[in-house]
Amino acid sequence: MSDLPTERVEPSPPFVYCGMDCFGPFMTKEGRKQHKRYGLLLTCFCSRAIHIEMLEDMSTDAFINSLRCFIAIRGTVRQIRCDQGTNFVGAKNELNSALQQLDPERLTAFLADKQCDFVMNPPHSSHAGGVWERQIKTVRSVLNATVSLSSGRLNDASLRTLFYEAMAIVNSRPLTVDNLNDPKSLEPLTPNHLITMKATTVLPPPGKFIREDIYGRKRWRQVQYLTEQFWSRWKKEYLHNIMARQCWHAPKRNLQIGDVVMDTDENLPRNEWRLGRVIDTVTSQDGLVRKVTIALSDKKLNKKGERVNKVSVVERPAQKLVLLLEAE
């Protein structure tokens, strides 16, 4: 395993370098209609804080609106990493086309320092976004179980409030556990300390919230009961994740142009083995190849031994390929 990227270890203001992904859906009710809502989770690479916004749908327009809400609250963002979701790709294309319509002379100096870059991971490489995928795994599973307690009873405002309450809980977790056993050690540092610069924690409103509040008319008590359930369940799952894991210490040969590899795509039909040849590689700053472009093989040939279909060229992470034959 190589060193962490520079944006993960160099000091920077909160939410300057982020990773993001979507999760859901969650069912809400407005009047007699039910709607599907989604969550947009952004993780700060430096402070490990998270921010959750509600998406009305998975369209590009809804994503751009939620992204602007995030920037209005947290400030400017220098770089955002994400997977190649259709709404993310559409937003990147729309923002790039909008920039071309502006006056380049007035914005050249500004965009050189403050433009928000979208860096997309290659397809089928969710491990490359482990920083935010890990947060989504814990938040999504607990939120799904929590919201299911009041399925079809939350409206959009209640769901958005629950997202913000969950965000405050996750941002109050300790970033390190090395000194927790020492009674003389200082209070553990949390993401809330870094983004709010306040030492006091956010206390819940007074009162005891019971299950019957779900069926009551006071929506704020309904949300607070669900927040208590989220806290109790998330705390148990988070404690299991504070364990040191070590892997990928032995160096391996980088994939090279001309290598014959096998694609281990999980969506392939049973008993089908897809082979390919590496035609291009992307080398990281540390000299390791994590992303390659391969030309997939095709068994459909005509009587002359020529290809019938066009060559399929795809981008794959190196971890999803098995090296079969090295290039000469």
pLDDT digits (tens, 9 = 90+) for 29-68: 888 888 888 888 888 888 888 899 988 887 777 888 888 8
> Could you give the CA distance from residue 142 to residue 173 in angstroms, rounded to a whole number?
15
Q: How far is CA 158 from the centre of its chain?
A: 23
> Could you give the CA distance from residue 205 to residue 213 in angstroms, rounded to a whole number?
14
Which pLDDT does position 278 carry in this prediction?
92
> Could you give the CA distance from residue 53 to residue 56 in angstroms, rounded to a whole number?
10
Task: Evaluate if residue 141 carries a pLDDT over 70.
Answer: yes
Torsion angle, alpha carbons of 119, 174, 66, 95, to 10: -20
Give the least confident one: 57-61, 105-109, 237-241: 105-109
Parallel, antiparallel or unpaired: strands 50-55 and 79-82: unpaired
Q: Which residues contact 159 (CB under 8 A, 6 or more apart)?
A: 26, 28, 37, 54, 147
Segment 251-300, tens digit of pLDDT: 778 888 989 888 877 776 666 678 888 999 988 887 888 889 998 877 67
Beta-strand (E) ranges in 238-327? 260-263, 274-283, 289-296, 312-317, 321-325
The answer to whether 59 and 67 have CB atoms below 8 angstroms apart is: no
Position with higher pLDDT, 36 vs 122: 36
> Rg of the chain's alpha carbons, rounded to an integer?
24
Q: List alpha helices for the chain, DSSP H.
A: 6-9, 60-74, 86-100, 104-114, 130-147, 156-170, 191-196, 219-241
Q: Which residues contact 294 (CB under 8 A, 6 or more apart)?
A: 261, 263, 276, 277, 278, 279, 313, 314, 315, 316, 321
Torsion angle, alpha carbons of 305, 309, 315, 320, to 10: -60
Give me the domains of the chain, ranges plus CATH numbers.
6-171+203-242 (3.30.420.10), 252-325 (2.30.30)
| Mean pLDDT on 102-113 | 44
